[in-house]
Amino acid sequence: MKSILFTIVAFATFALTSAQNQKPETQINVLLNNWHKAAAEAKFEAYFSVLSKDAVYIGTDATENWNVTQFKAFAKPYFDKGKAWNFTALERHIFFSKDNNTAWFDELLDTQMKICRGSGVLIKENGQWKIAHYVLSMTIPNDNIDEVIKTKSPLEDKLIKELKK
């Protein structure tokens, strides 16, 4: 029994040390890949545990600009159904501040909405990377801009008027 406990403790220590010794770019890639995977597997706590306490999530709809509490309220029904959304990175670029405590990234994602773009900012909190800001946007082929504008104009013209007040 003691040897099993020792093995578990040793493995956990090794895993934690290995993660901390990874290059910051690798840490962020792992974090973002696991974050997207947590949504696909409807793991609510795992998904939201990587957001900073004052994180902002901006979705594809012009009205989707949420703090963590608001984003949790929006997302919970999806997670409760057993599957939220399924995003897989096709490409990702990561950049760092000079002190390596802030990072920003952009990524192209394979999603149920076809290709989307994600971008965000991560900060170090207590030695751990946290997502502080994330923006999800749909990509629109340039040749289809006019038809997309026609589709969204009726809704967004109203929103524009309201926001200008």
What confidence tens digit (pLDDT) does each residue in 13-26 have? 444 445 568 999 99
The three state secondary structure string of 40-102 is HCCCHHHHHCCEEEEEEEECCCCCCEEEHHHHHHHHHHHHHCCCCCCCEEEEEEEEECCCCCE
- What is the domain partition of the chain in residue ranges? 2-164
Q: What is the pLDDT of residue 83?
A: 87
Whether pTM exceeds 0.95? no
Class of domain 2-164: alpha beta
Q: What is the pLDDT of residue 20?
A: 63
Pseudo-torsion of CA 58, 63, 69, 75, nearest 10°? -80
